[in-house]
Amino acid sequence: MAADGHGHSPIEQFEIKELLPINIFGVDASLTNSGAFMLVALGIIFSFLYFSTGGRNLVPTRMQSVSELIYEFVANTVRENVGTKGMHFFPFVFSIFIFVLVLNLLGMIPIPGITFTVTSHIAVTAALALLVIGIVIAYGVYKHGLGFFGIFVPSGVPAALLPLLVPIEIISFISRPISLSVRLFANMLAGHIALKIFAGFVGLLLGAGFWSILAPLPLALTVALTALELLVAVLQAYVFAVLTCIYLNDAVHGSH
């Protein structure tokens, strides 16, 4: 796309590049820039949590209180949405939250040619959403047996309406992983495309003679959008975690 030397395509940043070809028994498991960024995120999460909580001070240092804040924030989210019974899902929700959060934030660091937003690919977000919904179904069936599927039968409804309402409930359930993955992926994708387009306007206007006096306008907009995208990055990680909790609530407590 950028072969002509000028005008980078706004979707060039989402291109997946192979860094290290790996082939395991005919399965293409090459390390791509997407996988590399996930590994970097894991490294950041692990080293941050390990070193910030290593001191175990009663009066926390700054870094320790950051990890404690994240811990308590997620713990409160789980407790509010699933209840104390759901606290053994805390490690799962915490992992998902911090993984998505760090991936979103890593995508906001502008390094030309390298920066890659892993969560802007639906393959990644759909895998996460399917993991969540798979755990909900597996745990729900394990806990309540076939009674788990009672969540498809709304209570207090005349039997004549059930043939209409049960399909609606089933479609509503199937749409959960889809809206969960599409929301995260679409927000990241749209945000990064918008940023790239407005940043591109700056360069185009600068080369437009007299009209280059307008160039600061899209620049200011890019700065504002960057702030908005930071908010969206954190918010979408939070929304993903909250929805995970709400869906887990069905699995833990059965029909509503």
As measured in angstroms, the least distance from the Cβ of 132 to other proteins is 14
Which of 14, 204, 242, 254 binds other proteins (CB under 8 A)? It is: 242
Nearest to 252 by CA among 93, 129, 110: 93
When asked if residue 235 is in the footprint of other proteins (CB under 8 A), the reply is yes
As measured in angstroms, the least distance from the Cβ of 178 to other proteins is 5
The three-state DSSP-derived secondary structure of 19-49 is EECCEECCEECCEEHHHHHHHHHHHHHHHHH
86 touches 249 (CB < 8 A) = yes
Which whole-number Å values give the CA distances from 31 to 22, 106, 123, 242, in the listed order?
Answer: 7, 18, 15, 31
When asked if residue 79 is in the footprint of other proteins (CB under 8 A), the reply is yes
When asked if residue 167 is in the footprint of other proteins (CB under 8 A), the reply is yes
Residues 170-199: x/- map of binding to other proteins (CB under 8 A)? -xx-xxx-xx--xx--xx------------
When asked if residue 234 is in the footprint of other proteins (CB under 8 A), the reply is yes
Which pair of tokens denotes residue 59?
A: 């009066």
When asked if residue 130 is in the footprint of other proteins (CB under 8 A), the reply is no
Task: Sort 180 into a burial class: Cβ within 10 Å, 0-12 / 13-18 / 19+.
Answer: buried
Q: In the complex, which residues of this chain contact other proteins (CB under 8 A)?
A: 69, 72-73, 76, 79-81, 164, 167-169, 171-172, 174-176, 178-179, 182-183, 186-187, 231, 234-236, 238-239, 242-243, 246
